[in-house]
Amino acid sequence: MMKREWMDILHHEKVATDTYQMVLNGDIPGSGIRPGQFVHILVDDNFFLRRPISIADVDEQAGTLTILYKVLGKGTKSLTAKQQGDKLDVLGPGGNGFPMEELKTKRALLIGGGIGVPPLHYLGRQLVEQGIEVISVLGFQSKEYIFFEKQFNELGEVYVATNDGSYGHHGFVTDILPGLEGRFDTYFSCGPAVMLKAVSKELTGYDGYLSIEERMGCGVGACFACVVPTPESDAKGYRKICRDGPVFKPEEVVL
Amino acid sequence: MSNLSINLPGLKLKNPVMPASGCFGFGKEFSDFYDLSELGGIIIKAATGEQRYGNPTPRVAETSSGMLNAIGLQNPGVDQIITDELPFLGEFDTPIIANVAGSTVEEYIEVARKISRSEQISAIELNISCPNVKEGGVQFGTEPDLAAEVTRQVKAVSDVPVYVKLSPNVSDIVSMAKAVEQAGADGLSMINTLTGMRLDLNSRKPIIANGTGGLSGPAIKPVAIRMIYHVYQQVNIPIIGMGGIETAEDVMEYLLAGASAVAVGSVNFKNPFACKDIIDALPETMNKYGFSSLEEIIGGAHR
Ligand SMILES: Cc1cc2nc3c(=O)[nH]c(=O)nc-3n(C[C@H](O)[C@H](O)[C@H](O)COP(=O)(O)OP(=O)(O)OC[C@H]3O[C@@H](n4cnc5c(N)ncnc54)[C@H](O)[C@@H]3O)c2cc1C
Ligand SMILES: Cc1cc2nc3c(=O)[nH]c(=O)nc-3n(C[C@H](O)[C@H](O)[C@H](O)COP(=O)(O)O)c2cc1C
Ligand code: FES
């Protein structure tokens, strides 16, 4: 169940250009968080809406969760000023995340783009703990935006692509996918909408899961701000990203 | 000990604080945070005749001291609301107010007739003021004759009292209020959101896919207070006030202006405990300003 809590900032550092990692301590990490769930953060009282940020790692014993965020606008910019020892107003965990109990995968492919990479880290860790083989394909703008390559290396094979070719493959994550044909049975992807579209098209026929983004109001399922349409065969016609998602099967929603 | 209770047509409120329509869904999500029986009442999301998908996304944007929204009245339709949503709300000891919307007078009538017959509903909030739908809604809320007509027709079929929710997007709010009072409204609910727009500097286009959206939050509170202040002087039916309420002090300000109860909207997104926090703080705040009952405060600015 979701809680609202003032969490302690245990650790806050820059890990790449415009990209920060924060470790938060409190009760929320002990509530059985699933990979793919998010926290809804009120940066400070100057803001009227919270910001949804994915949970990138959890340590239940220590009562901590890790987030990674990229500075995009005012809210994430103000977040960078928070210091170790400060408290942060957090609502979470939000959404459903990846359906860990239902997964039948033996060999998983993680495909992350930019700031969509963080939730795949916690997912990858849990998959590896269950003895599942993990390959990761990570895409970034350029070399200085890369983060968590080391952490993904600990999970299995990693392929990195940069848009400008300053590191790894020159191009997009989708360029790498054909070479991995036959080496996985299920894919898990999070990143910008254009990337998710391209990935789901490229990997038609595979079992897959996409984590999608939308601007949110409440973040708890009450305001209908964050809906995504479903195919015509679905009578309800929509899903709420904050409550039913943010993870969906590609055939469940219309991107 | 201060007395927080107030009786309005169809509504015995244990306190004057209710979540506003569209900002609390059908209550389920917020029942994870606290016992909904603590609320004065609950105003549920708009109901229309058929299921509606609403507008494309993005549907919300943050603003200084508030937000814009253009949900577009997404809801499962009146029949499904009655079968799937109302039974859960019936478990709580608090009156439920149904927000009724439509594109035509016939649709308003159909929805009002159906939902006012359900045992869980104590009153109707007639939404003639949604700025985010292309047809209907808006003109009913901006033309006194149309507003009066839809009010009269809905009153004729409703089994419960009808509070008409006014739009602030008019030049003469008092004539709107008088028109619906004369048409038989049991109360007023004010205000709905103010039409606004925000542009994205990169794309040079509106942030909200619908283009315009409705402004809510503390940014609109002075507008609402002004409108309630003027309407209170000219009508004799009770007013449910709303717009940017975040604290017990805000509630007092609304009551002084002339509201008999209040609704708390978008701040629920910032703080899911907002309604409960306000209710908890109200006795002490009343005490601080020397009041022991709501009756002493209501309309206090006019005495
Ligand atoms: C489920 C989910 C998980 C996310 N996980 C992460 C993450 O792990 N790390 C990360 O850096 N970012 C993540 N995002 C995106 C993040 O929420 C936005 O980058 C952030 O809200 C931008 O806030 P801002 O104040 O800097 O930008 P502004 O543009 O000033 O924000 C204005 C408003 O728009 C909203 N907004 C703007 N861009 C987005 C966006 N892309 N998605 C959702 N809302 C947006 C903001 O929340 C705010 O309400 C996630 C989004 C979702 C929906
Ligand atoms: C996301 C959202 C959805 C809303 N949906 C409705 C609605 O369905 N019917 C309605 O009458 N008002 C609706 N409103 C308006 C609110 O009920 C309220 O009148 C307005 O937001 C002002 O109050 P606030 O400043 O406290 O939010 C909505 C407001 C928001 C922010
Ligand atoms: S953000 Fe309110 S329903 Fe998803």
Q: Read off the DSSP letter of residue B244.
A: S
Write out pLDDT tens, residues B58-110: 999 999 999 999 999 999 999 999 999 999 999 999 999 999 999 899 999 99
Judge whether A41 is closer than 8 Å to chain B, CB to CB.
no
ipTM attached to this prediction: 0.94
% of chain A surpassing 90 pLDDT = 96
Tokens of B83: 């079968």
pLDDT for B72 equals 93
Q: Report helix, strand or coil for B89.
A: helix
pLDDT for A173 equals 95
Write out pLDDT tens, residues A116-163: 999 999 999 999 999 999 999 999 999 999 999 999 999 999 999 999
3-state helix, strand, coil in chain A (%, to 5): 20, 35, 45
Residue B123 beta carbon below 6 angstroms from any ligand 2 atom: no
pLDDT for A187 equals 97
pLDDT for B139 equals 77
Question: Facing residues of B240 across strands?
Answer: B189, B261
A40 min Cα distance to partner chain B (Å): 9
% of chain A surpassing 70 pLDDT = 100
pLDDT band at B133 (very low <50, low <70, confident <90, very high): low
Beta-carbon separation of A2 and B32 below 8 A? yes
CA–CA dist B209, B58 (Å, integer)? 5
pLDDT for A31 equals 85
Q: Which of B62, B99, B220, B275 to mutate to test the interface with A (most CBs of A within 10 A)?
A: B62
Beta-carbon separation of B53 and A216 below 8 A? no
Mean residue pLDDT of chain B comes to 95
Question: Is B130 labeled as catalytic in the residue annotation?
Answer: yes
pLDDT for B137 equals 57
The best mutation among A50, A213, A220, A228 to test binding of ligand 3, ranked by most ligand atoms within 8 Å of the C-beta, falls on: A220
pLDDT band at B129 (very low <50, low <70, confident <90, very high): confident
* Active-site entry in B11, B18, B130, B239: B130
Mean pLDDT of B141-152: 93
Write out pLDDT tens, residues A44-96: 999 999 999 999 999 999 999 999 999 999 999 999 999 999 999 999 999 99
Q: Look at residues B174, B187, B208 and name the one whose alpha carbon lies nearest to residue B263.
A: B187
Instruction: Categorise residue A219: left if φ over 0, alpha if ψ from -120 to 50, beta otherwise.
Output: left
pLDDT for B149 equals 94
Q: Is the pLDDT of residue B166 over 90?
A: yes
CA of B94 to the centre of ligand 3 (A): 24
Mean pLDDT of B146-160: 96
Residues 6+ away with beta carbon under 8 Å from B85 = B26, B28, B44, B76
Residue A236 beta carbon below 6 angstroms from any ligand 1 atom: no
Write the CA distances from A225 to A163, A198, A212, B54, B156, integer angstroms.
32, 25, 14, 10, 34
Neighbours of B221 (CB within 10 A): 22
Q: Read off the DSSP letter of residue B260.
A: S
Question: Rounded to 5 degrees, what are φ and ψ at B41?
Answer: -170, 180
Beta-carbon separation of A2 and B74 below 8 A? no
Instruction: List the single residue in A42, A225, A236 with the smallest CB-CB distance to B59.
Output: A225
Strand order in the sheet with A87-94: A51-54, A38-42, A87-94, A3-16, A19-25, A64-70, A57-59
Q: Report helix, strand or coil for A34.
A: coil
pLDDT band at B140 (very low <50, low <70, confident <90, very high): confident
Q: Which of A218, A243, A244 to mutate to test the interface with B (most CBs of B within 10 A)?
A: A218
Residue type, B11: L
Nearest-atom index, ligand 2, CA of B218: 25
Mean residue pLDDT of chain A comes to 96
3-state helix, strand, coil in chain B (%, to 5): 35, 20, 45
CA–CA dist B266, B243 (Å, integer)? 9
Residue of A nearest to B213 (CA): A225
pLDDT band at B178 (very low <50, low <70, confident <90, very high): very high
Q: Read off the DSSP letter of residue B3.
A: B
Task: List b or e across A220-234, with b for residues whose CB sees 16 or more CB atoms inside 10 angstroms.
Answer: bbbbbbbbbebeeee
Cα four-point dihedral sign A5, A60, A82, B216 = negative
The best mutation among B17, B18, B21 to test binding of ligand 2, ranked by most ligand atoms within 8 Å of the C-beta, falls on: B21
pLDDT band at B20 (very low <50, low <70, confident <90, very high): very high
Beta-carbon separation of B24 and A217 below 8 A? no
Q: Report helix, strand or coil for B118.
A: coil
Q: Is the pLDDT of residue B132 over 70?
A: no
Residue A52 beta carbon below 6 angstroms from any ligand 1 atom: yes
Beta-carbon separation of A215 and B266 below 8 A? no
